[in-house]
A and B are shown apart, each in its own frame.
Chain A
């Protein structure tokens, strides 16, 4: 049937196709999409609705007999706690710094891959390695590298042998950010490289003839033309970084005030079994993500149609 409709459309019969045929195509389209759509709604839309219900209750699985409707008191408890705001700051801090470094480094690697006079394949292969590695494994590798007794970092020149990287908040963040950057820069670089290859080479030739140097060409041609691709990559990486969980969980478990909002949610939900409070945290995180996406779309004019899901 699809073959027939496809052939008719290609021959320009689509406009004049009978409503019966159009209806059939529509029905087939919906039928084919239904399983995927139902699966996606079942694990996202339904749970977020359920999370809102849970967040309005005083529900602590350690005390199953107590409880009942709690109104907005869980939200009040979260939003008035210092821990939430500190964790939000931590998450924002890690997100902004790591995404900024990833963009710079990713652009550099993309330019290297684009301009490579030889060995492009070798570079592309090697940057894919971090993408393929399990985040938890990468977190352990970097953690071991920075541990004073196990690691090699403290044996490098200019670094104190007994520097306890995970004993201090911001040095712990430095390691966490480094692991995040290492893991996700390749994806950024590949997206930017795809953007670079769409730029008309003639523009550079023309600019060269007009006497523009390499720096001018980068800032006057490359950056403006890549702006849509850069913004979409930034949006996706920002939202991805905002969910940071694995790396912090493995490296510090939130010690030294390095907890992220995802870890806070996990601690409340799974470690303390406080489903009411934990769900309030989950719902607030969900709204934070909505706000970030809204700011990107409205504030920076990201055209979402140009985006696509990443893999990390």
Chain B
């Protein structure tokens, strides 16, 4: 009995460590974002540095000042959301076609496609930045949505294909025939049997691709030059203070919180799916 209690105590300490490891930077950036800009550098000890003394939302409201035309943040936020959503949609559609073929059909070149996708996952993005920069300027794609969407969906395809193939292989496709034997039309069998079975896998792959596109920085600073298509990570790197003598620390923190919190809520809500997606097919059991 006593041993059990001690074991629980030990586990609690281990868990606290893991929790602190994961959460401290997040709590810290929230704390910075809530500080009065003038007091950001005034902490004297750990407590009053880590915990804001006078909470203010000034850092958030100034981000949105000036409306869509003058705010340094609104347009990049819209760009980020739209570019990530469009990239995710196209990548998932293309990947679903390929994954269906790889999981269900017999054709030569299947392994080659999977190997090629794996190679692209290891491809150094910087090696394509120069050529894409040159090509996009010639094609008029520099600093446009498609200019970012194309590289994002390409580099996300391997992740999407592998995740979907792993899920599609698990689907009991026989049910489709069973439904047809029971009198369903082929379309009904697809819509009422296969779609519900495939949806969780597709959704999981979509989450992973969205996080990938949302996260990119290298393409975003290389292939854009203005708020026309600059996404939030790139815009953050170019934030400027109110005057040239003030650091935009508080604004950066506030913008960081805005782009982080929705993803965290999402991740927490769908954690089982994400873990399944990240490790699906990773180890042949």
User: Chain A interface (Cβ within 8 Å of chain B)?
Assistant: 2-3, 5-7, 9-10, 14, 22, 25-26, 28-30, 32-33, 35-37, 39-40, 42-44, 46-48, 50-51, 54, 109, 112, 116-119, 121-138, 140-142, 144-145, 149-152, 155-156, 182, 186-187, 190-191, 193-195, 197-198, 228-229, 232, 235-236, 239, 242-243, 245-246, 249-250, 261-262, 265-266, 269-270, 275, 278-279, 282-283, 285-286, 289, 293, 304, 306-312
In the complex, are the beta carbons of B253 and A140 less than 8 A apart? yes
CA distance A102 to B19 in the complex (A): 16
Question: Which stretch of B61-69, B195-203, B276-284 is in the interface?
Answer: B276-284
In the complex, are the beta carbons of B263 and A50 less than 8 A apart? no
**Known A22-B106, A133-B264; 10 more pairs at CB < 8 Å:** A26-B106, A40-B117, A54-B130, A131-B267, A133-B263, A134-B214, A152-B50, A191-B278, A243-B126, A285-B124
For the complex, is B125 an interface residue (Cβ under 8 Å from A)?
yes
B21 to chain A, nearest CB (A): 7
Residues of A close to B44: CB separation below 8 A: 155
CA distance A47 to B155 in the complex (A): 13
A54 to chain B, nearest CB (A): 6
In the complex, are the beta carbons of A132 and B211 less than 8 A apart? yes
A127 to chain B, nearest CB (A): 6
Chain B 158-197 per-residue mask, 1 if CB under 8 angstroms from chain A, else 0: 1101100010000001101100100000100000000000
In the complex, are the beta carbons of A43 and B154 less than 8 A apart? yes
**Majority DSSP secondary structure for residues of B touching A:** helix
Chain B 230-273 per-residue mask, 1 if CB under 8 angstroms from chain A, else 0: 00110011000000000001001100100110011011100100
Partner of B49, one of A5, A137, A152, A289: A152
Most buried by B among A47, A190, A278, A286: A47
B151 to chain A, nearest CB (A): 5
In the complex, are the beta carbons of A44 and B15 less than 8 A apart? no
In the complex, are the beta carbons of A40 and B120 less than 8 A apart? yes
Sample 14 A-B pairs with CB under 8 A, ordered by A number: A3-B177, A3-B186, A117-B7, A118-B11, A122-B15, A134-B259, A140-B29, A140-B253, A142-B25, A155-B43, A245-B217, A286-B124, A309-B118, A310-B121
User: Chain B interface (Cβ within 8 Å of chain A)?
Assistant: 7-8, 11, 14-15, 18-19, 21-23, 25-26, 28-29, 32, 40-41, 43-46, 49-50, 94-95, 97-98, 100-102, 104-110, 113, 115-118, 120-135, 150-151, 153-155, 157-159, 161-162, 166, 173-174, 176-177, 180, 186, 208, 211-212, 214-215, 217-218, 221-222, 232-233, 236-237, 249, 252-253, 256, 259-260, 263-264, 266-268, 271, 274-275, 278-285
Residue of B nearest to A198 (CB): B285
CA distance A194 to B285 in the complex (A): 9
A76 to chain B, nearest CB (A): 18
Residues of B close to A312: CB separation below 8 A: 215
Partner of B104, one of A2, A14, A191, A283: A2
Residues of A close to B95: CB separation below 8 A: 36
B197 to chain A, nearest CB (A): 15
CA distance A246 to B159 in the complex (A): 20
CA distance A307 to B7 in the complex (A): 36
A126 to chain B, nearest CB (A): 4
In the complex, are the beta carbons of B15 and A47 less than 8 A apart? no
Partner of B278, one of A125, A155, A190, A293: A190
A117-B11 contact given A25-B105, A40-B158, A141-B25, CB 8 Å threshold: yes
Partner of A26, one of B45, B108, B271, B275: B108
In the complex, are the beta carbons of B154 and A42 less than 8 A apart? yes
